[in-house]
Chains A and B, each alone.
Chain A
């Protein structure tokens, strides 16, 4: 007779194993999770669907996980004992490093999942280091061993080299066929330690995810460290001291199951009826109001936007819709910040702050898809701190706020970037990083033909089509990860673009002094191609302050008239002109210059595809 499934809230921590899967996008994490759901029997084969745990459409379509989840899997191991495995899904992208770190903090071990045909990628490596820093037990696994292109021996050696184990310790599975997944679960039971906590101590639970649900409000995912979180009790968020009542407590298996409580080492969710994820922040510690813990679990950070971009509705009358849509998205996205902004060229919109480029891309895509909005986004930029000669400081999140006058210094954020590349591209990658004002910190050969390079780079350079360039120069083989490490003083200037003497705020950029000329020439020649000829000559100038550094001219249109207009032509010609006039309504006026929307989109889209590609 099989032992009874352990009851949530009354489970001996000794039989609990909390783990996550660290993997690059497309390396098969979701498929492996699907297989685990099937093997442990929590999903009926009839109800199985691919990427079961990925809830958002965008996640399923793009094959990436944005929000994590935790699923409780009862598992009878080879030792014939009943265990409870909590698989904590981690977001798989560079922009969400902090969320990843909180998910890792909720675990005792991690499966390092690597595609046997591709080897480890930079982001995986970065998350692996994060896991090692968190003292997680690492189980190295090669996936997709069924693929003809798989090179399990080669990549086992690579993984062994990176984590310092024997190649024989690397498990080989096929999440697709299920081969080796049962053994993997047994290894999880064997190798990953059970959680340890004090059941009698004041309750402390770590929030590792917080999701807004239209019907239930915010669903908060927690890992209990000490004590117990019961239902219908007053809990307290330690960062804000706000208290809420737990209306529901439960576990996901893989559908929500309400329980009486969550005990030491357990992973589950709680619902308090709050409507905004900001009231239940990732990284915060939950305790009980009646008997609060004295110290939080530590490691809490406010999400800090690093990349800013102006979002404008293509149709100005959609502005209220955009505002409502952002208000809605904010409920589920603690990192999204925005404030109204007016652009001379683009009208009313919002300056939005994001964790990074992918975050920007995801928000934009959700706005367009879920709220049916057509948007223009301005070129992304970072935060600058400008100190004037008189000591006053300005924080600049929009090039148009860049102060004129005597500037003492400008600080810009820098990142520590890790780039993994086949060794044949080392020179190419170094050249790119140098062009982007990078400083080499060090490099290591992971194997004979794979190199890890570490650079300090200005974030602004990464934000400006760095990833596209890296991919195209390495035929798609290099991968990138970065984390912000601080600020540096840099010789930065604002370049304005003027059309017919009028500055176009949407095209202003803050760039390094050495690159101002190149930026000016690039924008001016691009706009010359994109803006149709007008009835008069239109100069396009790039300027730093009053100094023009580049100039192009759109020559005046001399002729637009259709020569012939006989009797049978009149209606046709009228309709043609009416159609042209309709088309002109979609033009934005900059001073007297008619600029098609497409010109703005094309001119601003230098790195439009970067974030998209990054997820591939």
Chain B
């Protein structure tokens, strides 16, 4: 047993099609077929169960009740609902679930129906996060999203009816061709929906993606930071009006709606990483699985942990990560953790209006609205 909490991340590396902006470790059925692997949605859950067994038997120091579980992807809901439940059951049997364990899955609005959601709910899922991205059909097309805008709200409704207390939507803003009106439409719909959590990410053009190539060819314009800043402000205002508050620079919730799994990441708790390419963290050791599903499956089948590599964080790394992560949270960073030179920098940031004066007086570095948008530069300045 450790004095840290333990969570689990389960990666599901399947998508029905690949979105142009996405650089995540995910594969379409045809990509997997082309790679000649037997890995498929049909057999995936069984292999994850096997990985859970291997991991628990080899890392016995890190077997304790799970506080949070998060199924991400890819598209976890491409698996049959019973398979997600099967994995959850196995985690419960192997690690046990803490009281009030938060169990989330990401979902594509068009990959679930009411029955599917009811199955998950009865299996013990407590939270669902839909990749809505935008209410503008034009923007969804630019992002290669397959769902229609209205489908999200239908799915949210079903989730509520199925008894999910916590429903979240993800938004992407600042996409090429997106206008203020497009975002306004999205926010109007979001604020009218029965969701208690919103994640909003400004579109990042990752190298090597189809979107990056399209922009390089000049067919779409690159996202603009000034525009993104203005859009962020629109989002923050709209969500605040509906009673939400930010608890991390890109996350807002109603009271009690925060995603505890993500908070555990940002507090450097421990977590298991299951599935191809999944990252785990155990007391300063970061460890990640082999990336390709076929390689992962082969290791799991032979009874090995499918770990690709690991990195032991130095004390300085840990300190840097702590500053980087804590500063992004509304709970803030204790000034007592900063060196004297970093305190000087924090004072400059206070003068520049990046840190909240009241909280500062209470010994906490908490970002102001302006500071939230300029957090990365500040993080670097607070590092020694």
Determine if A563 and B249 form an interchain contact, defined as CB atoms under 8 angstroms apart: yes
Determine if B204 and A578 form an interchain contact, defined as CB atoms under 8 angstroms apart: no
Determine if A560 and B324 form an interchain contact, defined as CB atoms under 8 angstroms apart: no
Q: Would you mind naming 8 contact pairs between A and B with Cβ atoms under 8 Å apart?
A: A535-B352, A558-B225, A559-B229, A561-B375, A564-B250, A565-B265, A571-B321, A577-B324
Interface residues on A, range: 20 to 34
In whole angstroms, what is the CA distance A563 to B373 when docked? 9
**Chain B residue at minimum C-beta to C-beta distance from A592:** B348
Determine if B265 and A570 form an interchain contact, defined as CB atoms under 8 angstroms apart: yes
Q: Tell me how far the C-beta of B112 lies from the nearest C-beta in chain A, rounded to whole angstroms.
A: 22
Determine if A567 and B273 form an interchain contact, defined as CB atoms under 8 angstroms apart: yes
What are the 4 A-B residue pairs with the smallest beta carbon separation, nearest first? A568-B279, A558-B229, A563-B201, A559-B229
| B373 CB contact (under 8 Å) in A559, A565, A580 | A559
| A565 CB contact (under 8 Å) in B229, B266, B278, B288 | B266
Q: Does B228 belong to the interface (CB within 8 Å)?
A: yes
Q: Does B121 belong to the interface (CB within 8 Å)?
A: no
Residues of B within 8 A of A536 (CB): 352
Q: Does B271 belong to the interface (CB within 8 Å)?
A: yes
In whole angstroms, what is the CA distance A581 to B72 when docked? 31
Determine if A563 and B262 form an interchain contact, defined as CB atoms under 8 angstroms apart: no
Given the contacts A535-B352, A558-B225, A581 and B380 also touching, CB distance less than 8 Å? yes
Determine if B279 and A561 form an interchain contact, defined as CB atoms under 8 angstroms apart: no
Determine if B271 and A580 form an interchain contact, defined as CB atoms under 8 angstroms apart: no
Residues of B within 8 A of A567 (CB): 9, 265, 271, 273, 279, 281
In whole angstroms, what is the CA distance A581 to B229 when docked? 22
Q: Does A566 belong to the interface (CB within 8 Å)?
A: yes
Which chain B residues numbered 146 to 202 have a C-beta less than 8 Å away from chain A?
200-202
In whole angstroms, what is the CA distance A536 to B377 when docked? 12
Q: Does A257 belong to the interface (CB within 8 Å)?
A: no
Q: Tell me how far the C-beta of B356 lies from the nearest C-beta in chain A, rounded to whole angstroms.
A: 16
Residues of B within 8 A of A581 (CB): 380, 383
In whole angstroms, what is the CA distance A573 to B271 when docked? 18
In whole angstroms, what is the CA distance A577 to B325 when docked? 12
**Chain A residue at minimum C-beta to C-beta distance from B324:** A574
Residues of A within 8 A of B232 (CB): 559
Q: Does A10 belong to the interface (CB within 8 Å)?
A: no
Residues of A within 8 A of B230 (CB): 558
Given the contacts A557-B225, A571-B286, A577 and B379 also touching, CB distance less than 8 Å? yes
Chain B window 55-77, contacts with chain A (Cβ cutoff 8 Å), 1 for yes, 0 for no: 00000000000000000100000
Q: Tell me how far the C-beta of A163 lies from the nearest C-beta in chain B, rounded to whole angstroms.
A: 60
Chain A window 578-596, contacts with chain B (Cβ cutoff 8 Å), 1 for yes, 0 for no: 1011001000000000000
Residues of A within 8 A of B281 (CB): 567, 570
Determine if A561 and B374 form an interchain contact, defined as CB atoms under 8 angstroms apart: yes
In whole angstroms, what is the CA distance A584 to B383 when docked? 13
Determine if A563 and B250 form an interchain contact, defined as CB atoms under 8 angstroms apart: yes
Residues of B within 8 A of A149 (CB): none
Q: Does B132 belong to the interface (CB within 8 Å)?
A: no
Determine if B374 and A574 form an interchain contact, defined as CB atoms under 8 angstroms apart: no
Q: Does A562 belong to the interface (CB within 8 Å)?
A: yes
In whole angstroms, what is the CA distance A565 to B249 when docked? 10
Residues of B within 8 A of A566 (CB): 72, 262, 265
In whole angstroms, what is the CA distance A470 to B69 when docked? 72
Q: Besides the contacts A559-B226, A574-B324, A577-B320, what 18 more A-B pairs have beta carbons closer than 8 Å?
A: A557-B374, A560-B373, A560-B375, A560-B376, A561-B376, A562-B204, A565-B325, A566-B262, A566-B265, A568-B9, A568-B277, A568-B288, A570-B265, A570-B281, A570-B286, A571-B311, A578-B380, A581-B380
In whole angstroms, what is the CA distance A555 to B372 when docked? 18
Q: Tell me how far the C-beta of B98 lies from the nearest C-beta in chain A, rounded to whole angstroms.
A: 18
Chain B window 264-276, contacts with chain A (Cβ cutoff 8 Å), 1 for yes, 0 for no: 0110000101000
Q: Does B127 belong to the interface (CB within 8 Å)?
A: no
Determine if B279 and A564 form an interchain contact, defined as CB atoms under 8 angstroms apart: no
In whole angstroms, what is the CA distance A564 to B131 when docked? 14
Q: Does B328 belong to the interface (CB within 8 Å)?
A: yes
Q: Tell me how far the C-beta of A574 lies from the nearest C-beta in chain B, rounded to whole angstroms.
A: 5
Interface centre among A536, A563, A584 (most CB of B within 10 A): A563
Q: Does B42 belong to the interface (CB within 8 Å)?
A: no
In whole angstroms, what is the CA distance A577 to B383 when docked? 10
In whole angstroms, what is the CA distance A568 to B281 when docked? 9
Q: Does B301 belong to the interface (CB within 8 Å)?
A: no
**Chain A residue at minimum C-beta to C-beta distance from B278:** A568
Determine if A535 and B377 form an interchain contact, defined as CB atoms under 8 angstroms apart: yes
Q: Does B317 belong to the interface (CB within 8 Å)?
A: yes
Residues of A within 8 A of B202 (CB): 559, 563
Determine if B325 and A570 form an interchain contact, defined as CB atoms under 8 angstroms apart: yes
Q: Tell me how far the C-beta of A566 lies from the nearest C-beta in chain B, rounded to whole angstroms.
A: 6
Residues of B within 8 A of A558 (CB): 225-226, 229-230, 373-374
Residues of B within 8 A of A563 (CB): 200-202, 204, 249-250
Q: Tell me how far the C-beta of A81 lies from the nearest C-beta in chain B, rounded to whole angstroms.
A: 76
**Chain B residue at minimum C-beta to C-beta distance from A573:** B324
Q: Tell me how far the C-beta of A126 lies from the nearest C-beta in chain B, rounded to whole angstroms.
A: 51
In whole angstroms, what is the CA distance A568 to B26 when docked? 14
In whole angstroms, what is the CA distance A565 to B200 when docked? 12
**Chain B residue at minimum C-beta to C-beta distance from A558:** B229
| A561 CB contact (under 8 Å) in B288, B311, B372 | B372
| B320 CB contact (under 8 Å) in A560, A561, A568, A578 | A578
Interface centre among A561, A563, A566, A584 (most CB of B within 10 A): A561
In whole angstroms, what is the CA distance A584 to B376 when docked? 13
Q: Tell me how far the C-beta of B27 lies from the nearest C-beta in chain A, rounded to whole angstroms.
A: 17
Q: Tell me how far the C-beta of A33 lies from the nearest C-beta in chain B, rounded to whole angstroms.
A: 53
Q: Tell me how far the C-beta of A591 lies from the nearest C-beta in chain B, rounded to whole angstroms.
A: 13
In whole angstroms, what is the CA distance A573 to B324 when docked? 9
In whole angstroms, what is the CA distance A584 to B380 when docked? 10
Residues of B within 8 A of A580 (CB): 376, 380
Residues of B within 8 A of A571 (CB): 286, 311, 313, 317, 321
In whole angstroms, what is the CA distance A573 to B202 when docked? 16
Residues of A within 8 A of B317 (CB): 571, 574
Residues of A within 8 A of B320 (CB): 574, 577-578
In whole angstroms, what is the CA distance A581 to B384 when docked? 10
Residues of B within 8 A of A573 (CB): 324
Which chain B residues numbered 208 to 260 have a C-beta less than 8 Å away from chain A?
225-226, 228-230, 232, 249-250
Residues of B within 8 A of A578 (CB): 320, 380, 383
Q: Tell me how far the C-beta of A592 lies from the nearest C-beta in chain B, rounded to whole angstroms.
A: 9
**Chain A residue at minimum C-beta to C-beta distance from B321:** A574
Chain B window 324-355, contacts with chain A (Cβ cutoff 8 Å), 1 for yes, 0 for no: 11001000000000000000000000001010
Which chain A residues numbered 538 to 578 have a C-beta less than 8 Å away from chain B?
555, 557-568, 570-571, 573-574, 577-578
Q: Tell me how far the C-beta of B66 lies from the nearest C-beta in chain A, rounded to whole angstroms.
A: 14
Given the contacts A567-B279, A568-B288, A559 and B377 also touching, CB distance less than 8 Å? no
In whole angstroms, what is the CA distance A567 to B373 when docked? 21
| A577 CB contact (under 8 Å) in B72, B226, B278, B376 | B376
Residues of B within 8 A of A535 (CB): 352, 354, 374, 377
| B377 CB contact (under 8 Å) in A560, A570, A574 | A560
Residues of A within 8 A of B226 (CB): 555, 558-559
**Chain A residue at minimum C-beta to C-beta distance from B170:** A564
Q: Tell me how far the C-beta of A555 lies from the nearest C-beta in chain B, rounded to whole angstroms.
A: 8
In whole angstroms, what is the CA distance A584 to B325 when docked? 21
Q: Tell me how far the C-beta of B251 lies from the nearest C-beta in chain A, rounded to whole angstroms.
A: 10
In whole angstroms, what is the CA distance A558 to B372 when docked? 10
Chain B window 287-326, contacts with chain A (Cβ cutoff 8 Å), 1 for yes, 0 for no: 0100000000000000000000001010001001100110
Interface centre among A565, A580, A584 (most CB of B within 10 A): A565
Residues of A within 8 A of B265 (CB): 565-567, 570
Determine if A559 and B374 form an interchain contact, defined as CB atoms under 8 angstroms apart: yes
In whole angstroms, what is the CA distance A410 to B72 when docked? 74
Q: Tell me how far the C-beta of B263 lies from the nearest C-beta in chain A, rounded to whole angstroms.
A: 11
In whole angstroms, what is the CA distance A574 to B382 when docked? 13
In whole angstroms, what is the CA distance A573 to B380 when docked? 11
Which chain A residues numbered 461 to 514 have a C-beta less than 8 Å away from chain B?
none
Determine if B325 and A568 form an interchain contact, defined as CB atoms under 8 angstroms apart: no
Residues of B within 8 A of A584 (CB): 380
